[in-house]
Amino acid sequence: MAEKKATRAAYGETLVELVNEGVDVVAVDADLTGSTTTKVLGQEYPNRLINVGIAEQNMIDVAAGLSLTGKVAFTGSFAVFGTGRVYDQIRNTVCYSKLNVKIAPTHAGISVGPDGGSHQMVEDISLMRTLPNMRVLVPSDYMSAKQAIRIAAAADGPFYVRLGRAKLPQVYGPDDIFELGCAKVLNEGSDVTIIACGAEVNESLEAAKLLASQGISAEVIDAFCIKPLDAETIIKSAEKTGAVITAEEHSIYGGLGSAVAEVLGENLPTKMVRIGMQDTFGTSGSADELFKEFGIDAESIAKAAAKLIGK
């Protein structure tokens, strides 16, 4: 079995790879370069990492300024600080002017673990998805995180790349290719569709195995790109199965579940259930304990799917 790796582990090293390939990348961080792994860039290219200290609003504004000089500017910090504390700067400085700034904080979701509810950001996808001109990528493992960072670097304008702390099983290999606006069907099925993002992709694949043991055929889709969402793949799958589950390490309000419900509501009304944080903050515990506590683990997804289709 491949070694588990956190999506954040892909961050600093991919930035170094991009610089080596000639991309004019810089990173701006807010005193968390070790945790976000942007320090890897600073070790190789000291002039390409700026640590502004505990001043997240300045982090966004410095990145915005650097983007105006032609740089591809990435930002760090934890997701709770890198989106929530700086929403005004992202909205009015980055998105309003369509600047080439990539918001890529780490430690998103409840898999942050022992740090507790104050540091477990479960609203960030919602915040970023509603911003005009912002694209939103949520990788599910180390390899897809590398791809997400590369996609963000290659396309002009604002991006949000959601990275996590917990080490996750590897879903993809080095030869898998991702495209902006495209989802990936990882497991074909006929009875129910499970659409997931981030850490919930592996949980959904495990849920599909549990369902298979009960004679239920589950299709699993990785909604790697939440904005723009791959409506065509979602509608096609929903037409086939007639039942949809969404699974995300995020509030059920405003995130992947809401995005899928919008697509289906406008194009193909389908019975569905949203698995995620049910209007609550997180708490302290290990990632595995918290996934079970808040009902976003594989067993909970499988139970919800079986109930939805009446089996």
Q: Which residues are catalytic?
A: 56
Tell me the two tokens of residue 201. 């992709």
Q: Which residues contact 265 (CB under 8 A, 6 or more apart)?
A: none
Rounded Cα distance between 178 and 218, Å, is: 22
Strand, coil or helix: what is 194? strand
CB 131 within 8 A of CB 90: yes
Residue from 132, 149, 123 nearest 38 by CA = 149
Q: Which residues contact 47 (CB under 8 A, 6 or more apart)?
A: none
Distances (CA, A) of 217 to 193, 209, 230, 304: 9, 9, 22, 14
DSSP lists the bridge partners of residue 251 as 277
Separation of CA 177 from chain center: 17
Q: Which residues contact 108 (CB under 8 A, 6 or more apart)?
A: 79, 121, 124, 162, 163, 164, 198, 249
Alpha helix locations (H) across 53-181? 56-67, 79, 87-89, 124-129, 142-154
Strand, coil or helix: what is 85? coil
Sheet of 159-161, strand order: 49-51, 25-29, 72-75, 101-103, 159-161, 135-137, 225-227
Rg value, the chain, Cα:
19
